[in-house]
A and B are shown apart, each in its own frame.
Chain A
């Protein structure tokens, strides 16, 4: 190595004097191995990772870069709501990395400039299946949670309208139907994510659940939620009451509310549930859906409503439908109108490259051909730049 250096120096000296100095300096620099390696390590990391972990500071400058959420925050903010495959990925990689994409940055721009005196604006994230609508919603939830908003996150509204084992006739209104399991599970997760805020908010009226249980006025909402979790039969009514309280009190301005619903098209469609007499249940007969529909209305102020419309879990909708009108139907569209549509597209070239580099960095792509440009072209073609397809392909390699 030294011989090479000295010969290079000699060669350098034969050239123009000033340049030779530059050359020798460069050679010396290159000779130091550590620095070389450091430079090489930092450069690829800079492309697809950012160290900015507060979504409030995510701008277009961080476009296509992955930021990681600390795992303790994930447990608190996302007890439910992350897609199943992403949860498995978190377990495998021991880190939760989300890509900052243009639709999310656009949404943050809108959220930052909301006028809380005006009625809540509805944002509808739409796009083809597998393009990242749920992940964008989770990004928004993280942002609002960091800002201190109270987050009402319904992970998948489709789960309320299908595969429900227990249906009870509501004691509050006889024509409505209760879903105790779903309601109590949701209340548990709701309490986990918003514990500190729920302790401060107080009820403004007395609620009588049944002959033995009631909640007085002025009690913290946490108590009501605990009541719903312990007594499953009253869970649906508790949910209804909680939503009513939050709506009423949010307009007063003591806290900001984010209503995040994934698959809002489930509220205005059909269900696969049947009553005892084998007649079909329509969504408004379900108490949970009825109350949530009221929540998604823009007759309250002091927050925002971010929703996604999803074909993947929907019932009786064609596979290739993704536009709002197709999935919401006339009823849903007129109910949600006016809303701000935000399209979530497939990966662009830059986003694909970022995702690909991330998988390579995590050593997720084990196939030796995956590192070659040919392999990359093959991945791009077979996934069609669709994030979900790419993730499934990468899992196979």
Chain B
């Protein structure tokens, strides 16, 4: 209701300005359909122009120097992560996409997600460029090698949220997967080295998370044999393992040989995995104590404990490999709670039709 009134008032104002008739303020109720109405004057979502952001940044810097003075710090080298950067507080939103005449600037505006489709067009243009380059190379007689996979190691494609942030556009899962497939196709061609910088925009590197998993340094007992301790858990089982170097592959669990404690093959395979992964199968002796849980969870707990103990014996690369193999991650699964009205956690009571 208020909007309609505003529309009416504004019309009168505009008509007044356009015809430049001072004094003649006639209030006419003009009812127009929404299709005809020009909506460019209605303030849409708040748009922060570049000048606005520049102003805010200057104010921010000034405020930062004041704060540094107040705190007694050096204003030149004052950095504090807690203070929000205006760039984060006022995230970059898409600027107005059409001019005064109402015609959109971008030729793909009416697709609905112009930045996404323009990106697809760009990537395809790059693909065509690569193919043309490849044809030229073949015409000259030099056949391109394959050296592109090396650059892809250690990095990953953008995830959907990152791509949305880049394009300032909402994407659906299918859109995202289509974009990634197109990029993969770009990478797959042999001459894609020429578009490396363009592709690098869409790649993010992996952060090495080894630091969390590095164990304490090795300890040495009376005979000079290096040993290391590790603890592990799985469900309700808790295990501690002492791994000795210069051994013959002997493993004792709660004082019993591992063949007798774990007659099932699956459990012995779990024990074997960490040492086999690092190629030290017959070279280590282990003394384990385990309590709680059942046979499978005890085996899992011992496996985690062995892997943790072995981090002291191995290099950073080996620890990273173990982490990626999942040897150093504690299995978080626990027994799910039984719910009322059901027989178990998921199992419902037998359904009787009548």
Residues of A participating in the B interface, judged by any CB pair closer than 8 Å:
128, 319-320, 374, 377-378, 380-382, 384, 386, 389, 393
Min C-beta distance of A397 to chain B, whole Å: 12
CB contact between A384 and one of B257, B269, B279, B281 (< 8 Å): that residue: B257
- Which residues from chain B contact A378 at a C-beta distance below 8 Å? 272, 276, 281
Q: Is A381 touching B268 in the complex (CB atoms < 8 A)? A: yes
B-side contacts of A384, CB under 8 Å: 257-259, 268
How many A-B contacts at CB < 8 Å in the complex?
32
Nearest to A396 among chain B residues (CB) is: B265
Q: B75 at the A/B interface (Cβ < 8 Å)?
A: no
| CB <8 Å contact, A381 and B249 | yes
Q: Which residue of A lies closest to B281 (CB)?
A: A377
Given A374-B279, A378-B272, A384-B257, 20 new contacts (CB under 8 A): A128-B260, A319-B263, A320-B256, A374-B276, A377-B276, A377-B281, A377-B282, A378-B281, A380-B249, A380-B282, A381-B281, A381-B282, A382-B268, A382-B269, A382-B272, A384-B259, A384-B268, A386-B259, A389-B259, A393-B265
Tell me which of A128, A319, A374, A382 has the highest count of chain B C-beta atoms within 10 A of its own C-beta.
Answer: A382
Residues of A within 8 A of B257 (CB): 384
Given contacts A377-B281, A378-B281, contact A320 B272 (CB under 8 A): no
In the complex, which residues of chain A have a beta carbon less than 8 angstroms from the beta carbon of B268? 381-382, 384
Q: What chain B residues lie within 8 Å of A380 (beta carbons)?
A: 249, 282
In whole angstroms, what is the CA distance A389 to B282 when docked?
18
- With a CB–CB cut-off of 8 A, which chain B residues contact A319? 263
List 22 A–B pairs whose Cβ atoms lie within 8 Å, in order of A's numbering. Answer: A319-B263, A320-B256, A320-B260, A374-B276, A374-B281, A377-B276, A377-B281, A377-B282, A378-B272, A378-B276, A378-B281, A380-B282, A381-B249, A381-B272, A381-B276, A381-B281, A381-B282, A382-B268, A384-B257, A384-B258, A384-B268, A393-B265
Assembly CA distance A377 to B282 (angstroms): 7
Binding site secondary structure of chain A = helix
User: Shortest Cβ distance from B233 into chain A, in angstroms?
Assistant: 24
Q: How far is the CA of A320 from the CA of B259 in the complex (A)?
A: 10
Query: Considering the complex, which residues of chain B in the window 247-305 have a beta carbon less than 8 Å from any beta carbon of chain A?
Result: 249, 256-260, 263, 265, 268-269, 272, 276, 279, 281-282
A263 to chain B, nearest CB (A): 20
Highest count of chain B CB atoms <10 Å: which of A378, A381, A389, A393: A381
Chain B interface residue count, CB cutoff 8 Å, equals 15
Nearest-neighbor residue (CB-CB) of A384 within chain B: B259
Give Cα A380–Cα B279 distance, bound, in whole angstroms. 14
List, in ascending order, chain A residues with CB within 8 A of B265's CB. 382, 393
Alpha-carbon distance between A377 and B283 when the two chains are bound, in angstroms: 11
CB distance from A387 to the nearest CB of B (A): 12
Closest B residue to A389 by CB, please name it. B259
Which residues in A have their C-beta under 8 angstroms from that of B263? 319
5 interchain residue pairs of minimum CB distance: A384-B259, A377-B281, A381-B272, A382-B268, A320-B260
- Chain B residue nearest in CB terms to A385: B259
Q: Roughly how many angstroms separate A70 CA and B240 CA in the complex, as a whole number?
A: 53
Bits for B83-116, please: 1 = Cβ < 8 Å to A, else 0: 0000000000000000000000000000000000
Q: CB-CB < 8 A to B276: which residues of A?
A: 374, 377-378, 381
Considering only residues 161-204 of chain B, those with a C-beta below 8 Å from chain A are none
B259 CB to closest chain A CB (Å) equals 4
With a cutoff of 8 Å between Cβ atoms, the chain A residues found around residue B279 in the complex are 374
- Bound CA span A381–B260, Å: 13
- Whole-angstrom CA separation of A393 from B276 in the bound complex: 17
For B260, list chain A residues within 8 Å (CB).
Answer: 128, 320
Residues in A with CB closer than 8 Å to B259 are 384, 386, 389
Q: Which residue of B lies closest to A320 (CB)?
A: B260
**B250 to chain A: closest residue by CB:** A384
Distance of A350 from chain B, by nearest CB (Å) = 15
Give Cα A384–Cα B268 distance, bound, in whole angstroms.
Answer: 10
Chain B contacts of A382 at CB under 8 A? 265, 268-269, 272
Of A384, A386, A393, chain B has the most CB atoms within 10 Å of the CB of A384
CB of B277 to closest CB in A, whole Å = 11
Bound-state CA distance A288–B225 (Å) is 58
| C-alpha gap A384/B263 in the complex (Å) | 11
Q: Could you tell me the distance between the alpha carbons of A378 and B279 in the complex, rounded to whole angstroms? A: 10
CA gap between A386 and B268 in the complex, in Å: 13
- Of the listed residues B256, B259, B265, B272, the one surrounded by the most CB atoms of chain A closer than 10 A to its CB is B259
Complex CA gap A380/B260 in Å reads 15
Cβ contacts under 8 Å, B256 to chain A: 320
Q: Give the residues in chain B near A374, CB-CB below 8 Å.
A: 276, 279, 281
B residues less than 8 Å from A381 (CB atoms): 249, 268, 272, 276, 281-282
| Assembled-state Cα–Cα distance A319/B282 (Å) | 27
Tell me the bound Cα distance from A6 to B274 in angstroms.
53
What residue of chain A has the Cβ atom nearest to residue B257's Cβ?
A384
Report the minimum CB–CB distance from B250 to chain A (whole Å): 10
Which of A377, A380, A382, A393 lies at the interface centre, i.e. has the most chain B CB atoms within 10 A of its CB? A377
A381 to B247, CA, bound (A): 13
Docked pose: A319 CA to B262 CA in angstroms: 12
Bound-complex Cα distance A377 to B278 (A): 13
Cα of A377 to Cα of B277 in the assembled complex, Å: 12
**Which of B256, B257, B281 gathers the greatest number of chain A CB atoms within 10 Å?**
B281
B68 to chain A, nearest CB (A): 62
> Nearest residue in A to B269 (C-beta to C-beta)?
A382
Shortest CB–CB separation between residue A48 and chain B, in angstroms?
Answer: 21
Residue of chain A at shortest CB distance from B275: A381
Residues of the A chain whose Cβ atoms lie less than 8 Å from the Cβ of B269: 382
